[in-house]
Structure 1
Amino acid sequence: MTQGTEARGTTSPFGSARKSISVDRAALVSTAPLVDGSRAVVCTPTVARLDPREWLAGSGDTLARLRDEHGAVLLRGFAPLDAEGLAEFATALTGGLRDYDNRSTPRQRVNGRVFTSTEYPPELTIPLHNEMSYTASWPGTLFLTCLIPAAEGGETPLADSAGVYDRVPGLVRERFERHGVMYVRNFGHGVDLSWQESFQTDDRAAVTAYCADHGIEAEWLGGDRLRTRQVVQATVRSRATGRWVWFNQAHLFHVSSLPEAVERELRSNFAEDDLPRNAMYGDGSPLLAEDLAQVRAAYAAEEIARLWEAGDVVVVDNEQFAHGRRPYSGARSVLVAMA
C-alpha cells in the first residue's frame, strides 16, 4: 500500500463529493481509547465526512497497525459506507474477503461477500464469541458497519480474548485445552438451520466432500437428517500479539446458552446426541456446568460496549476480540464482511 497525499475528487455512493486533501492522511485522524481502560480504540477524523477508503489509501499501514496493536478499531465520524463501499474498504486493508461457509446463524447476502449481521429476534442476546471459532478455519479480520442504529440497545459488545483467557481459572483452561471442544449439530429436525442453508448447497455429495476436506465427521441418518461432529481448538495463540486467547464457542453452542424454557423443551423432545446443536469436551464427555459458568463470567468481566451511530465502522481482529449483540428495539441494520 503506497503512501498518498492527494485524495481524488470522486463521488461516493452516497452522493457527496470526496474531499480533495493535500496533507498526509495519517495525521487526519485522532485516536483515543474506545472506553476507559480498554485496548480497543476509536478513530475520529479531523476533516468532516472524510471517506475511510481515501484515508486508508493515503495513510500507509496506520489502520493495520492499529488493528494489530489494539485488536479492535471503531471508525466514527467518517463518510458512511454502503455494502459495496464496505467490501472495497475491507478488501483494500486485507487483500480479499471470504465467504460465510459452514454457517451457524441465519444471515442474508447483501452484496458479494457482505452479509447482514445475524438475524436472531431482537429480544435475544447473542453471547460474546469469536467468529467461526467452532471451526478449524476462521476469518482473521471482521468489518462491521452500522446503516441504521437501533432505537434502543442493539450494541455490539466486545471482549478482549486474552483477558478472557487469563480470567478463566487454570483448571478449567486445562480441561478445555487438553481435550479441545467437540461441536455436534443435528440437521433436519426443522429446528435451527437446515444443512442446505448451513452448507449453501442441496447436494449431499458436496456436503460430504466439504466435511471430509475440513475434518468434520458427517453421518447421514435417513430422511433429510444429517449429524456432524468436529473437534477443534479451545484456545489459540494470537498471530498478531503472540498471547494466548480464549477461542471457542462451547458456551454458545451448549444447550444451556438458550433461554431456560427453550432448553427444557429441547431436552424433553431430543436425546442428548440428537439436540439440534450442542458442545462438549473433545473426548465426548459433557461440559461441566461450573466450567461454563466460569467462562461466561470471564466474558462478562471483559465486556465493553458503545451504542452504534449511523456510519460507524468497526474493524476487529477476530482472534484478539470477541463480539456479540445486545437486545434492541426498533429498526437496526448492521452489515458484516469477513477477511
Structure 2
Amino acid sequence: MGNGPQWAPLEIDPAGAGAEATPDGLARHLRGLADLEGLLTREKALVFRGFGIGPGELDPVLDLLLPNRLAYVHGNSPRTKVGKNVYTSTEYPPKYTISMHNEMSYAHRWPARLAFYCERAPETGGATPVVDGTRWLEALDAEVRDAFAAGVRYNQNLHDGLGLGKSWQDTFETGDRADVEAYLKESGAEWEWRPDGGLRVSQLRPATVEHPVTGDEVWFNQADQWHAAGLGDETAAALAKIMPAADLPQSVTYADGSPIPPEHVVQVRDRGLAAAVDVGWRAGDLLLIDNVLVGHGRRPFTGPRRVLVAMSD
C-alpha cells in the first residue's frame, strides 16, 4: 500500500513557527507565510497546536485559512450552523466510527479546503483520522477499482419536514423550490417532486478524481457511507425490513444502476480506516486539510466533544 514512509499531517506549534503562543501569534504567522496554498498542497494537511484559540478568537483565524467560507448546501450530514458558515461536525452517536470520506464528494461542487476546530476535547478517543487519498486508492483490490471505474450514482429521498433523514429544506438551506431546482439544474442532477412534498434526487459522480495541482489520482466518493452495508449488518438488515433501497433517505449504485456488492463497500470502508492517521484533539487545536488529497472521519469517543468545521473553495 503505497511506497515510502507513512504520511502524516504537518504539525505547527509556536516554537516551530517562531511565533507567540496566542491566536494573534498564529494570525501573524499565517499572514507572513509566502504561500499557504502551496504549503497545504505539499503537506496535504496542517495541524496548528498550542496557540490557545478560544471560540471568540476563531473567526479571524478562519478568515486567513478559508478566505471564502462556504455554506453547507446539499450536505447530507446532520449538522448545526453555529456561526458565519461554521458548523458542528457530523452529529452522530459517539460510540460509532465515521468512516473516511472527502467532504461532499457526491456533489457537483465540493470544498477545496476544510478547517476543523476543537472547542472541547472528549474525555477519551474522538480523534479525526485522515487518509492520503492516493494510498487509499492503492489499498483497494484491482477488482474493486475496476468495478467503480465508470463512477457511482447517488440517490436521495428528502422529506418535506417529517420523515427519515434530512428534509429538502435543511439540505439546501432554503424553503424555496425554485432555488432548489436552479441548484440541481446547474449540478446536472435528475430530480422529481413527490406527491407528499418530498424530493427525489439522482446524480452520477466520479469514483476517483485528479488533484488540480498535483495531478494525483485519489479515491473520491462516498459509496460506503451511502450504502446500507456500510452501516453494519444489523442496521442494513433492519433498514431492508422497513423499506426498499430505492426509498431510503440515501442509497448508491454503480453508474449503470446495478447494485454495489456489500463486500466491495466493506473493503472500501475498512481499508480507508486502516490507512488513516489519527489526529487527536486538545481544546484550541486547528486542523486544515486539502479536501481532495485527504479524506477524513471520526473515531468513537466518550464525554462531551465539540469540534466545529468550516469549508472554502
Q: Shared fold by TM > 0.5?
A: yes
Say which of 48, 51, 55 aligns to 2:29: 55
- 1:27 maps to which residue? none
Q: 1:42 corresponds to which residue?
A: 11
Look up the match of 2:165: 192
Residue 281 of structure 2 corresponds to residue 308 of structure 1: yes
**Distance in 1 separating the partners of 2:149 and 2:174:** 33
Stretches of 4+ aligned residues off by more than 3 angstroms: 84-87
2:37 is aligned to 64
Alpha-carbon separation, structure 2, partners of 1:274 and 1:311: 42
Structure 1 position 289, deviation (Å): 2.2
Shift of 1:262: 2.4
Instruction: Provide the residue aligned with 1:213 in structure 2.
Output: 186
The count of residues paired between Structure 1 and Structure 2 equals 301
Shift of 1:81: 4.3
Alpha-carbon contact 2:155-2:251 (below 8 Å) kept: yes
What CA distance in whole angstroms lies between the structure 1 residues aligned with 2:302 and 2:28? 34
Q: 1:48, CA displacement in angstroms? A: 4.8
| 5+ residue gaps, structure 2 | none
Residue in structure 1 matching 2:112, options 99, 118, 140 = 140
Question: Are the aligned partners of 1:136 and 1:233 in contact in 2 as well (CA < 8 Å)?
Answer: no
Hey, what's the Cα distance between the residues in 2 that align with 1:261 and 1:202?
35
Q: 1:66/1:300 Cα in 2 relative to 1: closer, same or farther (>3 Å)? A: same
Structural RMSD (CA): 1.7
Q: Matched residues in 2 for 1:225 and 1:50: separation?
A: 48
Gaps of 5+ in 1: 1-35
- State how far apart, in whole Å, the 2-side matches of 1:318 and 1:134 are: 13
**Percent identity (aligned):** 37
Other-structure match for 1:151:
123
Aligned residue runs from structure 1 range 271-310, under 5 A: 271-310=244-283
Classify the secondary structure of the residue corresponding to 2:257: coil
Pick the structure with greater CA Rg. 1
Between the aligned partners of 1:333 and 1:95, the Cα distance in structure 2 is: 23
Cα deviations across residues 269-318 of structure 1 (Å, max 9, x unaligned)?
11121111111111111002232233123203311103201111001000
The equivalent of 1:33 in structure 2 is: none
Task: Supply the distance in 2 between the matched residues of 1:295 and 1:91 (Cα, whole angstroms).
Answer: 35
Following the alignment from structure 1 to structure 2, what is the Cα–Cα distance between the partners of residues 266 and 206?
32
Larger RCO (CA within 8 A; separation ≥ 6): 2
Q: Distance in 2 between the 1:124 and 1:235 partners?
A: 26
Q: State the 1:174 CA deviation.
A: 2.1
- Counting only pairs closer than 5 Å after superposition, residues 77-96 of structure 1 correspond to structure 2 as 77-82=50-55, 85-96=57-68
